[in-house]
Structure 1
Amino acid sequence: MRVTLEGLDFGYRGRKKVLNDLNWTLEPGVTGLLGPNGAGKTTLLSLIVTLLPVRGGHLFIGEHDLSTTVGRSRARRTLGFVPQRFSLAGELTVADTVAYAAWVHGLDRRECGPAALRALESVDLSALADRRTRTLSGGQRQRVGIAAALAHDPRVLVLDEPTAGLDPGQRLRVREVVAGLGEDRTVLVSTHLIEDVAHLCSRVGVLAGGRIEFHGTFPELEALIEDSTEGSPYGSEFERAYDRLIERVGESP
C-alpha cells in the first residue's frame, strides 16, 4: 500500500513549523527515515499513524485521506506502529499480549488467538508463546512489540528506532524480521543508526529543515559527495554523504 505526502505542513502552537511543504511517496518494501535531532521525524511518524491530525496539505494511506476524520478512522485499520518506547504487561504471556493487541485493533475475539500465533510466527517467536513477557530479553521484547503491531495484518508498518538499545546479536535478529516484513507490505523505519538503514532498506529518505531533502537509494545518496571532499577513516561513504547533505541544508538561506 502506498503512502503519499503532498505539501504536508505541521507546526505546534507558538512555535515555527516543524514540517514545511513536505512531499514524499513511500512504496511497498522497507524505507529508512534519517534526519538530525529535532528534524521532525517523531512528528512525521505521529502524523502517518494518526496520532496527530493533518492540518496542512494532504497525507494519504492508500486511498484514505488523513486530513479528514473518516479517512483517519479507516486508515487505522491498515496501520501498525511500534513506538521507540513501549511497555508490556509482565504477567501476561507472549501469546495473550499479542492477542490483546489484535482485539484492540478491532479483530473479533474468536480471531485474536489464531491471529496472535500467525504474528508470532512471522517474528520467529512461536516457541515463546507461553512465556511471561517479564522473562524476555530486550530483543525478544522488541519482536513481541512488532508482533503486536502485526496482529491485525496491517498493510503499512511504522517502526520508530526498532533496534535502539539492543546488543549486536539482538539487532541482527530484529533486522532479519523487519526485512522479511517488507516483502509484502510498506515498512517505514525511523532510526539514528545508519547501519540499520544500510542493512534493511532499499530506499532512504532524509528529513532536514522540515522537508525531505533526499529520497532514493544508497548509491544515489553517496553520489552527492563532492569529488574534493576528503573522507574520514572513521565513517562509511554513506555516512559521509549523509553528513554532507545535512551540512548543505544547514548552509542554505
Structure 2
Amino acid sequence: MSVSRLVCEELSKTYGGGFRLGPLTMEISVGVTCLVGANGAGKSTFFRLAAKVDKPTSGTVRLDSGVNRAALGYLPQEPTLPPAATCEDFLVYVAWLQGIPAAARGRAVSSALSRVGLTDQRASRVRSLSGGMRRRLGIAHAIVHDPALLLLDEPTAGLDPRQRIGLRETIANLGGDQVVIVSTHLVEDIRGLASRVIVLSEGTVVFDGDVAGLERLATPDAPGDTDLERSIASLMEASG
C-alpha cells in the first residue's frame, strides 16, 4: 500500500518585515510529528504553506499520497463551533461542505465520532460539551472526510490535565494511517504524542529526530525541570 508523505524541497517564505522560514528540505511521513518552537519561530507559517493558504517565496511543498482520499484536514487553535447544533448535525454539514455524497455522509459522521470517542454525544448540543469534548469535536470536523494530511494547531491548549491526556490518546490513534502534524508549546504533549519532533527557531530547523534524541541535547544549566524542557531551552538559547 502506498504511504502518504508531506514533501518539502527548498521551501522558504520571506515576509517584508524580515522574517524568513527555511529553506526547508524534508519529508514528513505517516505518524504524529510535533512541531515545536517559540512564538514567531515559524510554526504558523509552515502550517499555512502546508495547507496551501500561502504560497512559498521559493521551493515547493506537496502531499504525495497513493490513496484515494482528500488532501487536508485542519484544526485551528480556536475553532468556531455552532453552539446550538448537535454534534451529528454539525458534522453532517461539514461532510456536505467537503463533498461527501449524501449516501456516505452518515457513515462518515459515525466513523469520525467513533474515532474521537464522541459516539455517545452525537445528539448533544455543542454548548453542552466540556472543553475537552469540544476539542475532540473539532478534530472530528477535521477528519470527517478522511484526509491524508491532518494539521492540528495547539490542540490541547487551555485544557486541564485529564482532558489533555484523553485528547493526546485520540490524536495518537490518528497517526496510524495519516500524516499528523501537531503544533504545540507543551512538553507533555511532545512526550505523549510524538514519534518525531521538529524544533523551529527563527525560521530554521534546529532539531529533527525522536524524543530520546532531543533529550540527549539537554544541558545542566538550561532552564527546565526535565531533560526534555532543558533540551528545548538549550536549542532556543543556542540559536537565539
TMscore range, shorter length:
over 0.9
1:206-234 deviation digits (Å, cap 9, x = unpaired): 011212111001121122235xx3366x5
Amino acid at match of 1:118: S
Cα drift, residue 109 of structure 1: 2.5
> What 5-or-longer segments of structure 2 have no aligned partner?
none
Decide whether aligned partners of structure 1 residues 126 and 5 sit closer, same or farther in structure 2, where only a CA change above 3 A counts.
same
Specify which of 34, 37, 44 is matched with residue 35 of structure 1: 37
Determine what percentage of the aligned residue pairs are the same residue: 41
The secondary structure found in structure 2 opposite 1:215 is strand
Tell me, in whole angstroms, the C-alpha distance in 1 between the residues paired with 2:14 and 2:65: 25
For residues 87-133 of structure 1, give each alpha carbon's deviation from its aligned partner in whole angstroms, at most 9, with x where no partner exists: 11112110111121122122113322221111000001000001111
The C-alpha deviation readout for 1:132-163, integer Å capped at 9, x for no partner, is 11111110000001001110011111100000
Task: Tell me what 1:72 maps to.
Answer: none
Aligned to 1:56: 58
- Secondary structure of residue in 2 paired with 1:84: coil
Q: Note if 1:241 corresponds to 2:234.
A: no
- Provide the rounded CA distance (Å) in 2 between the counterparts of 1:22 and 1:231: 27
Task: Check conservation: 1:100, 1:112, Cα contact below 8 A.
Answer: no
List runs of 5+ in structure 1 lacking aligned partners.
Answer: 65-74
Check conservation: 1:22, 1:210, Cα contact below 8 A.
no
Looking at structure 2, the residues matched to 104 and 18 of structure 1 have their Cα atoms a distance apart, in angstroms, of 34
1:200 to 2:172 alignment: no
Q: Aligned pairs, how many?
A: 236
Q: For each residue in 1:162-219, what CA deviation from the matched residue of structure 2 results, as whole angstroms up to 9, or x when unmatched? A: 0001111111110110011111211101001011011111110001121211100112
Cα deviation code 1:51-99 (max 9, x no counterpart): 21233111011169xxxxxxxxxx9932111000111111211011112
CA distance in 2, matches of 1:238, 1:80: 29
2:205 to 212, 235, 245: 212
In structure 1, the residue matched to 2:5 is: 2
Contact 1:94-1:129 within 8 A present in 2 as well: yes
Q: Find the aligned partners of 2:19 and 2:65 in 1 and give their Cα distance.
A: 26
SS at structure 1 position matched to 2:70: helix
RMSD: 1.8
Provide, for residues 16-63 of structure 1, a one-character-per-residue CA deviation record: whole Å limited to 9, x for no partner. Answer: 133131222211111100001111111111111122123311101116
Contact (CA 8 Å) 1:23, 1:211: kept in 2 or not? no
Match of 1:77 in 2: 70
What is the DSSP-based 3-state SS (H/G/I as helix, E as strand, rest coil) of the residue aligned with 2:123?
Answer: coil
Q: Which runs of 4+ in 1 moved over 6 A?
A: none
Equivalent-residue separation in structure 1 for 2:49 and 2:70 (angstroms): 15
Q: 1:91 aligns with which of 68, 84, 87?
A: 84
